[in-house]
């Protein structure tokens, strides 16, 4: 490439940048920092924790600001007031889901998680109704979790108070709950294929939260052509898809429409009923990708939360002791805990909420998308804009939390020692695109952790001070560090 060609290319980039600047002024976008041609504001972001940079920028530009991630215009919502006003008060305007390249590639563009419009409405209504029918948030699901907790306790008992990594025990336990819902079966903790799939789920979340994974979302066309971890990540996701397709085939061969066993059976029955309707979203591609959505979201995020909770309890042994005293007084050590017990365990409930707040598992939220021009706070958010509800800023906002950067269960307790709700507790998002599995996740976190504290006291060989609660990875998700812990029978 000669000098004149380079000059023309450079001038073109500058003109495009100037055009974007004048366009911003013309359409009354929210304010934000000027970016560079092609890369936008990427050079300004902390690549290991971009949400921290966005929070810092809000101090200059306000709670609604514009940044450019590569060529993608992005509006960031900072703080509870802005997030609630958008996702709840103007819920219909903000139902769009951002077309994240990583998710599009993984799901082939189908499924519940990244869909919009009629596809999203059909799949969300069906999924919520079906999961409720199989007990999500109800007594039936509670019994499944209680039964699975017995397997978890038995497996941890086998460690005989020696140091162990709880990661795969917890992944197996949580995954088996979603497997019962979706596949109609649970798997042995010693099933090699099951363990391999759980390893893929864990590595997928880590890749999505790594700088490499974030680069794929910004420059997919480039990353597809470069060597790197992204190709290995997608190859592993194909293994997950192959497993799901195998399970769907098994269900097709044994389907009894009048006696559905699980989510797949219900979807296949609906698919057969609507196969002659051209506009129906109940087809094979949506089934595969929606099951992938449920399997991934229903396993890794909840198991990571429980793993982080154990690290917190090891870090704060007095908190753990106080929880055990409350649990012993209300439930004892023999009876399985139930969701009915939660209202009688205010301190325990407060600790579990504070753990989720401190963990801040999806700090930037799941991206939303402007499906049409949106008027918001006297600004115009143009169609095609990515919208990031910065949940990190909601869970750590000084206006709503007395000590946002510290572990403090008193955030969820009143002066009488009763549990106190806080409207800024939004780890599952808010509005019409809030997590469909929220009630299931809340139930699992409570029942599994209370059951574990009935049977064990958790510690670390190096003592509480050796436990690091800072994330191993911070980007799309805050992935907690692994710790070798000791479970001493009580």
Give the per-residue SS3 of the chain.
Answer: CCHHHHHHHHHHHHHHHHHHHHHHHHHCCCCCCCCECCCECHHHCCCCCHHHHHHHHHHHHCCEEEEEECCEEEEEEECHHHHHHHHHHCCCCCCCECCCHHHHHHHCCCCCCCCCHHHHHHHHHHHHHHHHHCCCCCHHHHHHHHHHHHHHHHHHHCCCCCCECCHHHHHHHHHHHHHHHHCCCCCCCCCHHHHHHHHHHHHHHHHHCCHHHHHHHHCHHHHCCCCCHHHHHHHHHHHHHHHHHHHHHHHHHHCCCCCCCCHHHHHHHHHHHCCCCCCCCCCHHHHHHHHHHHHHHHHHHHHHHHHHHHHHHHHCHHHHHHHHHHHHHHCCCCCCCCHHHHHHCHHHHHHHHHHHHHHCCCCCCCCEECCCCEEECCEEECCCCEEEEEHHHHHCCCCCCCCCCCCCHHHHECCCCCECCCCCCCCCCCHHHCCCCHHHHHHHHHHHHHHHHHHEEEECCCCHHHCCCCCCEECCCEECCCCCEEEEEC
Residues 6+ apart with CB under 8 A from 189: 151, 155, 168, 169, 172, 195
Residue indicated by tokens 């506009």: 279
pLDDT tens for residues 344-362? 999 999 999 999 999 999 9
Domain spans of the chain? Answer: 3-489
Q: Please tell me the total number of residues recorded for the chain in this structure.
A: 490
Extract the tokens encoding 400.
């709503």
pLDDT tens for residues 281-339? 999 999 999 999 999 888 989 999 999 999 999 999 999 999 999 999 999 999 999 99
Q: Return the C-alpha torsion angle 405, 407, 413, 418, nearest 10.
A: 160
Give the pLDDT of residue 428.
Answer: 94
pLDDT less than 70: residues of the chain: 1-27, 135-139
Enter the CATH code of domain 3-489. 1.10.630.10
- CA–centroid distance for 192 within its chain: 26
Q: How far apart are CA 313 and CA 319, in angstroms?
A: 7
Give the pLDDT of residue 136.
Answer: 59
Give the pLDDT of residue 27.
Answer: 62
Whether 427 and 357 have beta carbons less than 8 Å apart is answered as: yes
Q: How far apart are CA 380 and CA 358, in angstroms?
A: 33
Give the pLDDT of residue 24.
Answer: 46
Burial of 334 (0-12, 13-18, 19+ CB in 10 A): exposed
């Amino acid at each position: 490439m000669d000098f004149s060609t380079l000059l023309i290319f450079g001038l073109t980039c500058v003109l495009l940048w100037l055009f974007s600047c004048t366009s911003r002024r013309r359409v009354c976008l929210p304010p934000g920092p000027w970016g560079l041609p092609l890369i936008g504001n990427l050079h300004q972001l902390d690549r290991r924790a971009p949400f921290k940079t966005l929070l810092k920028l809000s101090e200059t530009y306000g709670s609604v600001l514009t940044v450019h991630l590569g060529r993608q215009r992005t509006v960031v919502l900072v703080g509870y007031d802005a997030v609630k006003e958008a996702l709840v008060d103007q819920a219909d305007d903000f139902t769009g889901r951002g077309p994240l390249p990583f998710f599009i590639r993984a799901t082939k563009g189908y499924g519940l998680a990244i869909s919009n419009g009629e596809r999203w409405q059909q799949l969300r209504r069906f999924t919520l109704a079906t999961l409720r029918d199989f007990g999500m948030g109800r007594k039936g699901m509670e019994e499944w979790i209680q039964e699975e907790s017995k397997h978890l306790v038995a497996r941890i008992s086998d460690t005989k108070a020696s140091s162990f990594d709880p990661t795969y025990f917890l992944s197996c336990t949580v995954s088996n709950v979603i497997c019962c819902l979706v596949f109609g079966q649970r798997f042995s903790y010693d099933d090699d294929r099951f363990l391999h799939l759980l390893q893929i789920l864990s590595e997928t979340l880590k890749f999505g939260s790594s700088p490499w994974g974030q680069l794929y979302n910004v420059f997919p066309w480039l990353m597809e052509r470069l060597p790197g971890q992204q190709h290995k990540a997608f190859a592993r996701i194909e293994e997950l898809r192959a497993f799901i397709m195998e399970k769907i085939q098994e269900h097709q061969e044994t389907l009894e429409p009048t006696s559905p066993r699980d989510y797949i059976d219900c979807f296949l029955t609906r698919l057969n009923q609507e196969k002659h309707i051209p506009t129906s979203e109940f087809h094979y591609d949506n089934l595969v990708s929606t099951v992938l959505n449920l399997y991934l979201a229903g396993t890794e995020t909840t198991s990571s939360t429980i793993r982080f909770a154990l690290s917190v309890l090891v870090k704060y042994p007095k908190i753990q002791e106080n929880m055990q005293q409350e649990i012993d007084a209300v439930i004892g050590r023999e009876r399985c805990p139930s969701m009915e017990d939660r209202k009688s365990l205010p301190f325990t409930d407060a600790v579990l909420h504070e753990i989720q707040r401190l963990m801040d598992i999806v700090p930037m939220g799941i991206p939303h998308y402007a499906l049409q021009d949106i008027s918001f706070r006297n600004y115009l958010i143009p169609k095609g804009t990515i919208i990031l509800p910065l949940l990190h800023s909601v869970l750590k906002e000084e206006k709503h939390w007395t000590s946002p950067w510290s572990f403090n269960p008193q955030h969820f307790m009143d002066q009488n020692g009763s549990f106190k709700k806080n409207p800024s507790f939004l780890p599952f998002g808010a509005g019409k695109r809030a997590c469909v599995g929220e009630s299931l996740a809340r139930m699992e976190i409570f029942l599994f952790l209370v059951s574990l504290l009935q049977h064990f006291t958790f510690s670390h060989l190096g003592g509480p001070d050796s436990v690091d609660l800072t994330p191993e990875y911070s980007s799309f998700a805050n992935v907690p560090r692994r710790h070798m812990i000791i479970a001493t029978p009580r």
